[in-house]
A and B are shown apart, each in its own frame.
Chain A
Amino acid sequence: MATYLEFIQQNEERDGVRFSWNVWPSSRLEATRMVVPLACLLTPLKERPDLPPVQYEPVLCSRPTCKAVLNPLCQVDYRAKLWACNFCFQRNQFPPAYTGISEVNQPAELMPQFSTIEYVVQRGPQTPLIFLYVVDTCLEEDDLQALKESLQMSLSLLPPDALVGLITFGRMVQVHELSCEGISKSYVFRGTKDLTAKQIQDMLGLTKSAMPMQQPRPAQAQEHSFISSRFLQPIHKIDMTLTDLLGELQRDPWPVTQGKRPLRSTGVALSIAVGLLEGTFPNTGARIMLFTGGPPTQGPGMVVGDELKVPIRSWHDIEKDNARFMKKATKHYEILANRTAANGHCIDIYACALDQTGLLEMKCCTNLTGGHMVMGDSFNTSLFKQTFQRIFSKDFNGDFRMAFGATLEVKTSRELKIAGVIGPCVSLNVKGPCVSENELGVAGTSQWKICGLDPTTTLGIYFEVVNQHNAPIPQGGRGAIQFVTQYQHSSTQRRIRVTTIARNWADAQSQLRHIEAAFDQEAAAVLMARLGVFRAESEEGPDVLRWLDRQLIRLCQKFGQYNKEDPSSFRLSDSFSLYPQFMFHLRRSPFLQVFNNSPDESSYYRHHFARQDLTQSLIMIQPILYSYSFQGPPEPVLLDSSSILADRILLMDTFFQIVIYLGETIAQWRKAGYQDMPEYENFKHLLQAPLDDAQEILQARFPMPRYINTEHGGSQARFLLSKVNPSQTHNNLFAWGQETGAPILTDDVSLQVFMDHLKKLAVSSAC
């Protein structure tokens, strides 16, 4: 058998799953002693170019409480045409279509390589995708212009039959009617008045009763489409209209006096968008795309008043309970988000402004519905433009990389229960035998709704081993988990993806080595980090850090090799060796540290952290640092101040930023223009290499990272300096003046200090 590393990688590639433990402790007690919970990162729609979907319905276990999908782990009696469910052990008849199966003629779902399989099913009418643009007009002229161009560009990227709608807002909210010929028509709403869904629908004339009571029309359905079509039209029909409409879009005309913020009715605009879709296309894949250039300043959901002299809330204000509007606004957006999620729609927020825009309050709109959150300085930046363009990127099949209205159902074998999920989803509140009472994340259910997702959307799923210590599992027994994701594919097909995995059980006392060796420290770090971030969203920062520290110490105590009270004897095996370092960087990361970040930034970072896959998440926790020099090919180097050398070019990827940093000497060379001299072409290449690599990352990343090109002494160098481990600071002066790197002016502890403390605590018997 291959190494665990290969196994893990293989599993990830096939199933999109990474478990913290790949051999499972067989009893509840032991499992809890493992410190890191049994959990996995699941990427439900991981791109599988090699996996063509099958065009039939999955076969389900007939036990009503189980309904697991037939999978390779099931035992099949080919002669009797029976199969035994591997979750509930129910014996099931194959459906008539399977009469021809035999050992040599197996349906795909029984083949081991199809532990993940996708079904295309025919259910309900196929409705085209819906894109509802909600556009802030309180923008600077060039910003608005850039946004308009981006929006017009996006029209060309949409599937031709997609329905589009447009709502603009500023002081008022305008719902544009797209069907009308002749003069353009819009419905206008006051930006200060919260309206119920019913009111909105009445006012837009979407309700039946609002229709004239004339002779009953023959075709109700027709009428329905008529109603909704006033605001949502197939793009191919109104392409020109909409392009013109966007072209004529003006800045919000209401005067903004000096010292005031423009009145921006984001809360009502979103409310109307939600109400509109709710009334017309419930449970149909739809994207509300909110483009905003500043904080909501009036009406429900306002985040800050219009007085510029009163700044928008900071973490400091929040800690002091000084954020007047926060609770109310958050409540407003939460209600909206929950309604949206209930209708299966998702909300994207594209917030571009130099100051905060209220993402803290609005974050639930994206986080609960699986929408995108994009934060930039201006709509007139490539960051926004390319990010936005990337929303509409297509996969190898030419389909959009987006899916809607997914429900994820998790089934476990008896020894396991589901503790909860952390990711862009809401609970569907489906209780069942496999739901644990021990809650982690969004819990208390075995099904979740993910209204918007893409191939990288990744959920952290936490389990609890419930097998009792005194009920040993038979030798060779395996625990199984099945993930069933039903969703609306971007082609509007309904699809079901089923992933069934199994892992071996091991007795933690006798086979701890096995378990230890099967520890996936990367997955574990990300899963623990998600837990930490989830807690941080609701708890005080320091408590979360303390909790993380304690977990780390306990883990080291459990799996470290040491002599008691002798820190220098402390060792960790390979499978754990990186874990403390991840934790060190996690503690310093913007996901847990709010210092130097605005509440909006924190929300933004956390948003992405809670939905990215393992690799990206790891980059977020511990940025990658590459070094370029004449000494050899680029190499990854320690994220440490000692890596900052004068004759190196560094490329740092923090996920949110790509930083290229020229060491002092390099910078001087460049300044001297050596790169332009033919005899120093190698220098030119050296300068070019990180740029090319950066481009490569930029091309693939969503959202577009902030691209920073800086050099020694540059002001932007702070992005690098704040990330590296401060192994040399002004405090440890012995390094001063040596050629071993750059001192960082900080009082933060360095990794070395952190490790020393960890060792000390781990070996101490005190705790």
Chain B
Amino acid sequence: MSQQGYVATPPYSQSQPGIGLSPPHYGHYGDPSHAASPPGMMKPAGPLGAATPGMMLPPGPAPPGSHQFGQNGAQASSHPSQRFPGPSPVNNVASSYAPYQPSPQSSYPSPVSTSSVTQLGNQLGAMQINSYGSSMAPSSQGPPGPPSAAAFQGPPRPPQPSILQPGSQVLPPPPTTLNGPGASSAPPTAQYQPPPLPGQTLGPGFPPQQANYGPQMAGAQLSYPGGFPGGPAQMAGPPQPQKKLDPDSIPSPIQVIENDRAIRGGQVYATNTRGQVPPLVTTDCVIQDQGNASPRYIRCTTYCFPCTSDMAKQAQIPLAAVIKPFATVPPNETPLYLVNHGETGPVRCNRCKAYMCPFMQFIEGGRRYQCGFCNCVNDVPPFYFQHLDHIGRRLDHYEKPELSLGSYEYVATLDYCRKNKPPNPPAFIFMIDVSYSNIKNGLVKLICEELKTVLEKLPKEEHEETSAIRVGFITYNKVLHFFNVKSNLAQPQMMVVTDVGEVFVPLLDGFLVNYQESQAVIHNLLDQIPEMFADSNENETVFAPVIQAGMEALKILFQPQTNVYDSLAKDCVAHGCSVTLFLFPSQYVDVASLGLVPQLTGGTLYKYNNFQMHLDSQQFLNDLRNDIEKKIGFDAIMRVRTSTGFRATDFFGGIFMNNTTDVEMAAIDCDKAVTVEFKHDDKLGEDSGALIQCAVLYTTISGQRRLRIHNLGLNCSSQLADLYKSCETDALINFFAKSAFKAVLHQPLKVIREILVNQTAHMLACYRKNCASPSAASQLILPDSMKVFPVYMNCLLKNCVLLSRPEISTDERAYQRQLVMTMGVADSQLFFYPQLLPIHTLDVKSTELPAAVRCSESRLSEEGIFLLANGLNMFLWLGVSSPPELIQGIFNVPSFAHINADTTLLPEVGSPYSQQLKMIMNIIQQKKPYSMKLMIVKQREQPEMVFRQFLVEDKGLYGGPSYVDFLCCVHKEICQLLN
């Protein structure tokens, strides 16, 4: 966090050990021309700033960039919000240019020397990547690429190239970013502008790039059209020469994670300081609530908000919070306190209705208090009065959770209940598809058997002996069968509803029962269901009516709705009915439509493709158990209040919204997170900071109405540097993923990817321009807090949801999209950047997880065994030359060839290896919302293809650049922006 972090140290000069980038490698990438903006420019930043707003629409001023702008503008306009701000800066070019020229020249020289990029040795330092492989320099001329690459018809940019070329080797480093390009291109720039077109088009047109990407890396610089004026000839020449950028020299997620762990792992993190950035999600530590909500509940993209919206626009860093209101806290942390004010209910601000919290300032001897959110001065209700101490704090400050803690719960009064009636205890309704295929493949039997166990573990309040949750059962094929399982019956009774067009619940009494009381009847039922439909040959199934029926059962019959999923889901939410789906598709089932219901109702979607009993049942059963046992709240409404100056503008997650403020969730469990984006209304004060209060009104599993309050105070600053310093990359990726996945529904993928890339570049360029210490234009400088942002962003971009390829089933994309929409930060981090653990180096005596390695094929070895997990899938990859003793130890077979990969369970061997491996797998699986199915992958066998998709630093199987390529691309974009 030290400032050094982003003070760009003269990069080139000091090549950092280990991390230093050897410039030569990717020289060609460096797009000299756009490399960097001169500091001078920065100041006049005015234009830039102006530009940003401009981005909204084709800014009048920027004729040159018009093209790009057009595009951006279009996007922007379609996007009401700034979420995907297009790259705006360019337009300024004209104005900015002037300054350029001078500087460039000067800069040039330096590059040479600094051929190698420096990265700050320590993570604290800002990452800088010299983008230009010096050696490659030649290629770098490429920029004008026009000649060589048909692809880049762009007008030749002769001038630059030439200049660059010379420096070419140096080029990259020509660190003096400012000068470098400027100098060389000074004249050209003017011309450039037009040219950028091609380049730019490229930029935005990410997809095409991808295509290019691969090749580029391989051989040619071609890809970077705009870049190098270099003569074609050169292009041709250099292609091969360029070595790959040493992956070790670019920021490593593993390194970042390990560092954070090393520094903060295992420690106590107290939330007493406003705006302090919490440890990474991957770091284990004990969190102590001292007035701000634990990062387990709320994580922000940045812990320091810019004071003005102008600043925010300039930086384009999303201001968002990922809220997981029901997050599980480890046993060594304090659970939430429950505040009960009896019939008067919680104390709330009269004006903004914010709940009493540490941000309320008591005045006038404790008789009144000023709301931290709206500044309204309220009388303290008599029953709540307390004297203040000498520092103006109430004497009972530490006795009342709502005065001293970031998170706590209130008992809600009847006013907070639907229709002012206390809620019923919640109910789980199990709806089992008993159509032919499910009977035949044994699924129904499996479920029925499992339910007997699972029902024993229904969630309950800690102090209660049995769960208050009632259960009900429905089976369905073409018609619906309801079951009366009232405890006094000798046999369950089945009631068939055939009117699926207008479904209803045929019984009241005996449908929803207490499991303990009706246990015998329920077991009887579960025993009989598989037999009852054993000779069923009904293939047709109904679906919407099934959910509707469940909902009706909960709401006790009102008028029915049409069974369009959307309105169905809406109805469900309105009646506090959450739907969780377990799908076992063997063909296309339209997950996108079906999934809408669970998504909008706060339920979960589970999908098991081509379910096979022997392979998939364990995974399914784990999911089923887990899902039922989860901590969960029902019929929830979340409201996020903020202090003046900003407000929550957009929400992402498994939610439903009827208006702009109330986030409705039929249910919310411990794994579901809602991401909230904030926008400025006004200026924020550095003193008052930015306060957030998230209140969730919900019904507990025992049917109590409660309010869960999370408060979080953030800093505000008028220094961009502060903003960048306080960023949280994992949260940023969570936000970007959700906003992009939401946009998938109404925007072309290409546009979305462009926006993501552009915004990435923009955020980094802004940093570079405003916060980093002067350095070579061609140098890539990343803020310390966002060091791994590009690699994560690349992972996001390569996710199948954002790639439309015929090889990827629509259902699978819809499924993943839905999963991500409700993910918390930790889950999204793992999802986008899987954990890859070497197993062959296991220390069987240690209980620690082995150190992870980066997700790249180059990290694998033929002699190695690796375990990869991303929260959904788990792979055990076996190198062809895996040590036989390990194979013996794990699989109990003599050799690699004997391993049967067609299983999802490791055999019980009992060897230390086996036990250790299983322990690791358990640790990984722990606390993950989805059960991961283990796939055993043998090197060089067909299934390896699947596995490789998860080596996210490599080039994607279905397109998408490797980490290195992407980094270069981003760098190029940044350079363009800076120019």
Contact = CB atoms under 8 A, between A and B. Distances in A.
A186 B507 CA distance: 11
A195 B501 CA distance: 12
B863 interface: no
Contact of A184 (B493, B510, B537, B538): B493
Contacts of A678: none
Contacts of B441: none
A52 interface: no
A735 B502 CA distance: 71
A174 B532 contact: no
Contact of A190 (B479, B491, B496, B502): B502
A183 B491 contact: yes
B494 A183 contact: yes
A212 interface: yes
B525 A183 contact: yes
Contact of B504 (A185, A190, A248, A253): A190
B182 to A, nearest CB: 78
Contact of A183 (B479, B492, B497, B506): B492
A307 B506 CA distance: 23
B565 interface: no
B844 interface: no
A752 B495 CA distance: 65
Contacts of A7: none
B489 interface: yes
A254 B510 CA distance: 11
Contacts of A190: 499, 502, 504
Interface string A179-210: 00011111111100101000000111100000
Given A193-B502, A253-B508, A188 B495 contact: yes
A193 B508 CA distance: 19
Contacts of B498: 187, 189, 202-205
Nearest to B497: A188
Interface string B498-523: 11001010111110000000000000
B444 to A, nearest CB: 15
Given A187-B496, A250-B509, A182 B537 contact: no
Contact of A186 (B495, B499, B504, B528): B495
Interface string A578-620: 0000000000000000000000000000000000000000000
Contacts of A255: 508
Given A190-B502, A253-B507, A182 B491 contact: yes
Nearest to B508: A253
B482 interface: yes
Contact of B494 (A172, A186, A212): A186
Contact of A182 (B496, B506, B528): B528
Interface string B915-959: 000000000000000000000000000000000000000000000
Contact of B509 (A187, A193, A248, A253): A253
A203 B504 CA distance: 14
B521 to A, nearest CB: 9
Interface residues of A, number: 24
Contacts of A212: 537-538
* Highest count of chain B CB atoms <10 Å: which of A183, A184, A187, A254: A183
Interface in A252-303: 253-255
A765 interface: no
A738 interface: no
A253 B510 contact: yes
Nearest to A171: B508
A510 interface: no
A185 B529 CA distance: 12
Contacts of B489: 248
B509 A214 contact: no
A188 B496 contact: yes
A733 to B, nearest CB: 64
A297 to B, nearest CB: 15
B448 to A, nearest CB: 13
A723 to B, nearest CB: 48
Contacts of B532: 182-183
Contact of B482 (A188, A195, A205): A188
Residue with the highest number of chain A CB atoms closer than 10 Å, among B491, B496, B510, B537: B496
Interface in A186-244: 186-190, 193, 195, 202-205, 212, 214
Interface in A154-194: 172, 174, 182-190, 193
B506 A203 contact: no
A185 B508 contact: no
Interface in B318-364: none
A165 B271 CA distance: 71
A174 B506 contact: yes
A187 to B, nearest CB: 4
Interface in B266-282: none
Nearest to A190: B504
B494 to A, nearest CB: 4
A212 B508 CA distance: 31
Nearest to A189: B499
A250 B525 CA distance: 20
Contacts of B509: 250, 253
Contacts of B538: 212
A185 B525 CA distance: 12
Contacts of B482: 188
A187 B493 CA distance: 11
Contact of B506 (A172, A184, A205): A172
A309 B532 CA distance: 47
Contacts of B537: 212, 214
A202 B501 CA distance: 13
Nearest to B536: A212
A241 B761 CA distance: 76
A670 B540 CA distance: 76
A164 to B, nearest CB: 19
Contacts of A202: 498
Nearest to A202: B498
A323 B801 CA distance: 63
A374 B537 CA distance: 46
A185 B496 contact: yes
B536 to A, nearest CB: 9
Contacts of A248: 489
A188 B507 contact: yes
A202 B531 CA distance: 24
A352 to B, nearest CB: 24
A195 B498 CA distance: 12
Contacts of A193: 499, 502
A467 to B, nearest CB: 60
A184 B484 CA distance: 10
B508 A254 contact: yes
Interface string B246-273: 0000000000000000000000000000
Interface in B525-561: 525, 528, 531-532, 537-538
A187 B502 CA distance: 15
Contacts of A172: 504, 506-507
Interface in A72-89: none
B491 A184 contact: yes
A450 B21 CA distance: 104
A253 B494 CA distance: 16
Interface string A125-169: 000000000000000000000000000000000000000000000
A186 B499 CA distance: 13
18 contacts: A172-B504, A172-B506, A172-B507, A174-B495, A182-B491, A182-B532, A183-B483, A183-B532, A184-B491, A184-B493, A186-B493, A187-B496, A187-B497, A188-B506, A202-B498, A204-B498, A253-B509, A253-B510
Interface of B: 479, 482-483, 489, 491-499, 502, 504, 506-510, 524-525, 528, 531-532, 537-538
Q: 8 tightest A-B contacts by CB?
A: A188-B506, A253-B509, A203-B498, A185-B494, A187-B496, A253-B508, A188-B495, A184-B493
Given A183-B492, A184-B493, 12 more contacts: A174-B495, A183-B493, A183-B524, A183-B528, A183-B532, A185-B494, A187-B496, A187-B497, A188-B507, A202-B498, A253-B507, A253-B508
